[in-house]
Amino acid sequence: MRTLPNLCVSEFNEFCGGNTGSVLDSWDTNYEAEPSVTSIHGKHTLKFGAEIRVQRQNYIQTNNGTGGYNFDPTFTNSDPLATSPIGGNGFASFLYGTPTSGSVQEPAATASQLIYRAFYIGDTYKVFPRLTLDLGVRYEITGPWSERYNRISFWDQAAQDPLSQNVGIPLNGMLGLVASSERSSRNAVNTNYHEWSPRIGLAYQLTSKTVIRSGYGIVWLPIDVNLDSAPDHDVINAITEPMITSLNGNVTPYNLISNPFPNGITPAPQRSASYLSDVYGQTVLTQIPNNPLGYTQQWNFDIQHQLTGNTLLDVAYVGAKGTHLPLQDYDLDYLTAQQLSTYNTSLENQVANPFYNKVPSTSPLDTPTISEGALLHPFPQYGNVQLANQGMGDSSYNALQAKFEARFGGGGTLLASYTFSKLISDAESLTPWLETNWNAGFQNWGNLRGERSLATFDVPQRLVVSYVLDLPVGKGKKYLSNVSGVAGALVSGWGINGILTEQTGTPLFLTTSQNLTGDPNSAGSRPNFDLAACPHGAGFSGSAVSRLDEWFNTSCFTQPAPFTFGNLGRTMNIFNDGLHNLDFALFKNTDFGPEGRLRFQIRAEAFNLLNTPQFGAPGQSQGTPQFGVVSSQANNPRLIQFGAKLMF
């Protein structure tokens, strides 16, 4: 396949993105058995059964077969290590052919299998007419992944890499293979035999019009949502070859776009005898055997009250706590904050490379010199070591939920739902490539407590009002019910429906235009927040339109000093624009034919009827001209459409 590479220039991000040379082939076979038995004994309704699934997946995918390269001002500004470098332009770097980063993927096919087993028993116990209990327990054995030819690696933290003998320095940690002398199991992760899920619920009729409900349960996270733990993502099956753009911390360029991989590209080694040497210098994505499985505890307390014969009010408290939630890729190979501050500028010093001529020529490590900082990493034989879907995250959710429902005698319903909530977490989406505005990333892998904040997809308040209403006009209605003939046909059958949505915005996360932490494996740098200058926060009052040129007080944020982390949390009390949307439809039904069995409907629909804009996220990178500036719209403008259909 001949395609252009993905070239991203910082000043033209709207042209960046997408996949280049993409290939995806998947052949799936699933087997499933779900026997169940229900038995009624007096006040007890017992249900028990099992659920067994075998998922087989033959898979290969690359999203970057021809490479992706990023150009920013780094190599064209006055001083790449300055706190506030002068000048520089991403397009100028593009013209020079000096990307700041780049990579190309080289995947191999895998044949994976996941076996899921679950057994459950539940009892619906009607204690007395007003009280019903739901009691149950579910026991699950989830996975883990295996591969037909055992093409799976695991991370052995206690082992010493055999390369140590050749380079003369201790190299802790080693990439091992399943079904080998290092690990007899065919799975990279130990099977969890403790997946007990108790469930308890109650419903109590307090009065003839009031019902109280409450419940508690534990839900275990399915392994197949942990995408990066599947064998096709394993480093031995999916090599991502990084481009060596600089040997001294982006002070001077090394390889150019004209020949980004002068020593060639390493194919995925799988279980070849050379698998270890093939991944030296690469980013290693693997797993540790004792990775805990994530689960969520959920609870609620709900009161429903019938206000009148046709109206209902429902108010509930809902809570949830996530434990051992998977982080997409947890970095093990990071420099500590103390190392960064101690070595600072010497991290970029070039020293003799002990790996030179000791690793394959295609390895990024096969260079005469190497930075001192690279040798300080815990596992210098690799470009990075990442644990796929490591269960180190947690979350906390609390919400007040209210619902009002009304039914109208003339035909129609009204439903209003309101949620006031807060979601705090230190874990992000497992699909960040789909949710770029909801993925803040980690600044300091050695301080996960510092990542705990409002989730980037937290919505503090949301109101949704939906309605369907037959207009009280025409045959059988309150008004003009006696009109017949053509006039009756014209005035009858009219109705409206619509949805009103009012929603507050999600929290913003901020970054800096340059990562000056000194650790290339840091997920990014955040600015410092000047509390003395902005004791009341960085938010501005006023309408959204009045804040488009400066959504928040940008002077509250500064670039951290080199080799330090910013003091800003993952998110803060600055929010994106909220959603204010009204969808509306007007329709007319005309019944005809024998006994009126046929119905012809015409309708006019308006989406975003009031044409209210929802502005996009402001620039979130401190140090760029776009910082704090809103230059996009997140929703669609008003759309009106007409339709007709025949129902029979």
Compute the distance between CA of residue 108 and CA of residue 643 in angstroms, rounded to an integer. Answer: 49
Q: Map tokens 């803040």 to a residue.
A: 440
The DSSP line for 401-443 is: EEEEEEE-TTSEEEEEEEEEEEEEES---S-TTT-GGG----S
pTM greater than the 0.95 cutoff: no
Compute the distance between CA of residue 442 and CA of residue 452 in angstroms, rounded to an integer. Answer: 10
Mean pLDDT, range 164-178, rounded to an integer: 93
Mean pLDDT, range 271-284, rounded to an integer: 90
Total structural domains in the chain?
A: 1
Instruction: Name the band, by pLDDT with cuts 50, 70 and 90, for residue 368.
Output: very high
Q: Over the chain, what is the mean pLDDT? A: 90
- Tens of pLDDT, residue by residue over 29-48, are 999 999 999 999 999 999 99
The predicted pLDDT at position 17 comes to 62
Report yes or no: 246 and 252 within 8 Å, Cβ to Cβ: yes
The predicted pLDDT at position 436 comes to 56
Compute the distance between CA of residue 316 and CA of residue 140 in angstroms, rounded to an integer. Answer: 30
The two tokens of residue 615 are 């502005």
User: Would you say residue 63 has pLDDT above 80?
Assistant: no
Instruction: Name the band, by pLDDT with cuts 50, 70 and 90, for residue 250.
Output: confident
The predicted pLDDT at position 385 comes to 94
Compute the distance between CA of residue 525 and CA of residue 415 in angstroms, rounded to an integer. Answer: 45
- Tens of pLDDT, residue by residue over 587-611, are 998 888 887 788 899 999 999 999 9
The predicted pLDDT at position 238 comes to 86
User: Would you say residue 21 has pLDDT above 70?
Assistant: no
Compute the distance between CA of residue 323 and CA of residue 298 in angstroms, rounded to an integer. Answer: 11
The predicted pLDDT at position 490 comes to 86
User: Would you say residue 438 has pLDDT above 70?
Assistant: no
User: Would you say residue 439 has pLDDT above 70?
Assistant: no
The predicted pLDDT at position 1 comes to 56
In a domain, 564, yes or no: yes
In a domain, 452, yes or no: yes
Q: 590: domain range? A: 437-648
- Tens of pLDDT, residue by residue over 544-593, are 999 999 999 999 999 999 899 999 998 988 999 999 999 999 999 888 88
Core vs surface per residue 195-225: b (16+ CB within 10 A) or e: bebebebbbeeeeeeebebbeebbbbbebbe
User: Would you say residue 387 has pLDDT above 80?
Assistant: yes
- Tens of pLDDT, residue by residue over 291-323, are 999 999 999 999 999 999 899 999 999 999 999
The predicted pLDDT at position 88 comes to 85
- Tens of pLDDT, residue by residue over 519-538, are 877 777 899 999 999 999 99
In a domain, 536, yes or no: yes
Where are the alpha helices (H) located in 294-388, listed in sequence order? 337-343, 372-376
In a domain, 129, yes or no: no
In a domain, 38, yes or no: no
In a domain, 566, yes or no: yes
The two tokens of residue 600 are 């012809």
Mean pLDDT, range 148-155, rounded to an integer: 96
**In the chain, % of residues over pLDDT 70:** 96
Contacts with 80 (C-beta within 8 Å, 6 or more apart), sequence order: 74, 249, 250, 251, 514
Instruction: Name the band, by pLDDT with cuts 50, 70 and 90, for residue 541.
Output: confident
* Closest C-alpha to 163, from 155, 152, 172, 154: 172
User: Would you say residue 154 has pLDDT above 90?
Assistant: yes
The two tokens of residue 67 are 């490479």
